[in-house]
Structure 1
Amino acid sequence: MARGTMSEDVQAQIKQLILNGRLTPGDPLPTEAELVALLDVSRNSVREALKALQAMRIVEIRHGFGTYVGPLTLEPFVEGVAFRAAVRHHQGESSLYELMEVREALEAGLIGTVARNLPAEDLAVLKGLVQRMAEEARGGQVQSATDRAFHLALYRSLGNHLLSEVLDAFWAALRRVREDLSDDRPDPLVTFRQHQEIVDALEAGDGDRAVKAIHRHFDGIRRRLSEQ
């Protein structure tokens, strides 16, 4: 059996152990020696497989403590998408536009549903984040963490964890590649006002107005991308 195929086979067996054991992030896995005996493979094969699974965030190796089920995040996807966009940008392609358009399509397609059923507690969270943006804007820059928290809170009421993770992954990928390529900083007062418009539309329960506010927000990003 080829070495790469052996590693992939061991990876598949370790993933099956996680599924069969109904393990969740943070749960301990068998030790390296136990995996060698359990799977009847070499120590090197187990180490290769664990390293590959760690890169995918499926396992977490804590040196001196053992191996555990990893956080199972979309971080490897974010890294891959961001680097792909950066490479294509340097080749003269409109990869940043493409990233932004995926975000815009997802958010504009969802915001109408959010506007019709937004719980009062989520609206209160969004209002608080917009207030924080106002304070940060007066200080000269809206923090990326505040913007990220706003967009996460925006769709929390839909109750779809994967959707929230995908939206956040595209937010992170676009932010990462833009920060790597440029020192572009949006006007903080404009950023605050655009998010305030979204919240005002949601408070009014006006889905059409919320969609327009989302598009205006992305129009600002689009303009800044065209200037790079």
Structure 2
Amino acid sequence: MLKTKKIKIIIVDDHTIVRHGISQSFSMEDNFEVIAEADSGRSAISLALLHRPDIVIMDVSMPDLNGIETTQKILANNSNIKVIALTMHAEKVYVMGMLNAGASGYLLKSSSFKELLKCIKMVLSGEMFFCQEVSRLIAGKNGRPVKDKRVSVFSLLSKKERQVLQLIAEGHKSKEIAEKLYISVRTVDVHRIHLKKKLNINNVAELTKFAISEGITSPDF
């Protein structure tokens, strides 16, 4: 008898215990195989290129590169991959950010593993799936999800400006940012000026608040 082809999964979350728990749950199922785990967005992009999974289960707020940008990059490389957000964030800005990036499902971490399995089945059949809390948040008049394409930080800022903004919001000084992004301190300061001008924000506290509201970082990074 031919073996059924297993659904290949990559789990992306910066918390080891979360990845381990999800992976252990999948190990109890016959039809799934966790082929890799990533603790950052950049690692997830590399692993998705290498392993070509069917499903990527993606946290939304992570240091270095958030789930929204990571989803965009993974799907730009391979549009056949299905990305499912699994996060603690129920705010609309996070949901819309992931939907606009191309995610096919959005679950809160309070969801059951059974609901995650249902979500995977739905998205593999070409449908979209949202847990109840998220469905209520984004439902239109007909009850179906409505994408919100209003201008967001991703259309206002360049890639490098978004990276600098995230690192500023996470408390890094200009020298540290320069080292992380392989640019000069002067260039970092120029990006700071551009950020404040584009966003009409004058201090780090407000930049941090903006970054959190747009899903670029989270209060508990």
The alignment's TM-score, normalised by the length of structure 2, stands at 0.24
The structure whose residues are more often helix, as a share, is 1
Higher strand fraction: Structure 1 or Structure 2?
2
